[in-house]
Amino acid sequence: MTSSQGRQPLRLMETFRSVFYTPIHVSIAGGFLEKEGLDVTFSTCPPQFAHPLSALLHEAADITQSGIMRSIIAADWGAETVPMHFAKINARDGFFVLGRASSTSTSAAFNWDGFNGAQVIPVGFSPMPWASFQYALRDHGIDPGGLNLITGLDLEGAIAAFQGGQGDFIHLPEPAAEQVLAQGAAGLAVALGPANGHIAYSSFAATNAFLAANPDLVMRFTKGYARALEWLAANDAATVGGSVKEFFPGVDPELIVRSVERYKTQETWPAEPSLNEPEYQGLQDILMAAGMVKERQPYAKVVRPDIVPQALS
């Protein structure tokens, strides 16, 4: 701890529980935020809020993990100010498309034409994964409108439907993807992270008012988080998986390790938390292509790029 101002409470919230958000879990489990004098209350977004940015605006959280697309959409709808994103969590899409084992031997051998006319169960609990999936489909010459979608399912319902014989393909995050793969009835068709490249997929956000009123806390948080990313990059999947398995009770620890290994291999997580404009614009490309926004929103309206360099100076 470097501050003489004593410890500070922090309410930190994630959108949903996934190995995709391992950088957050490492920050907490590894004590990196605690060492900066922060007493963290960590939670997953409760159902009374549509998403974590809503929790921010209702003062139910201080800093949240969120897809940056929500602030971009709010700005596109006309909001004069939006929650500001200041530190990157995910540098790639973290979702996977699995197909029936008979049609998917390896992702390298998978032919994207296999999606033409296929019955697909897309992620139904958040709009960004489907937008990113559509972008990859179009990039490979596939019209998303030609897919036969099974919609309206939560994660558990989607997996149950697929296991019950519905769908040719299912769209999942980790560790759910690893759990379905381990059962042997499905194979990996597409990893969307490598397919869509580096984008500003998910990041930490706070309101302008909170950032202005709590500069010391925000600096401490960012510094601790940056050290957690360094640790995450420096350690192997087994070590990382062991450190975060407490966040996934009931999931086979070996599947957590496999999930971490898959994410590390495709460079899902950044080595440092700067949220740079090229990745921001890459995400806007996806939103524009999906028709989720009408106009590009200025980087400076959505991102505070000054916070990371200040915290690490």
Task: Give me the average pLDDT of each 10-residue run along the chain (313 residues).
Answer: 68 96 98 97 94 92 95 93 96 95 61 94 88 95 95 93 96 96 92 94 96 97 98 98 96 97 97 96 94 95 97 94
Q: Cα–chain-centroid distance for residue 253?
A: 21
pLDDT on residue 108: 53
Q: Which residues pair with 170 in a beta bridge?
A: 98, 121
pLDDT on residue 2: 40
- Domain 8-92+199-312 class? alpha beta
205 three-state secondary structure: strand
Residues of the chain with CATH 3.40.190.10: 8-92+199-312, 96-196
pLDDT on residue 6: 85
Helices (H), the chain: 22-29, 52-57, 69-76, 127-139, 155-163, 176-182, 192-196, 208-213, 215-234, 237-244, 253-265, 277-289, 299-302, 307-312
In 3D space, the residue among 293, 291, 111, 262 whose CA is nearest the CA of residue 191 turns out to be 262
| CATH match for 96-196 among 3.40.190.10, 3.30.70.1150, 3.40.50.150, 3.40.720.10 | 3.40.190.10
Whole-angstrom Cα distance, residue 121 to residue 71? 27
Whole-angstrom Cα distance, residue 251 to residue 175? 8
The two tokens of residue 176 are: 């759910």
Residue 223 CB neighbours (<10 A): 21
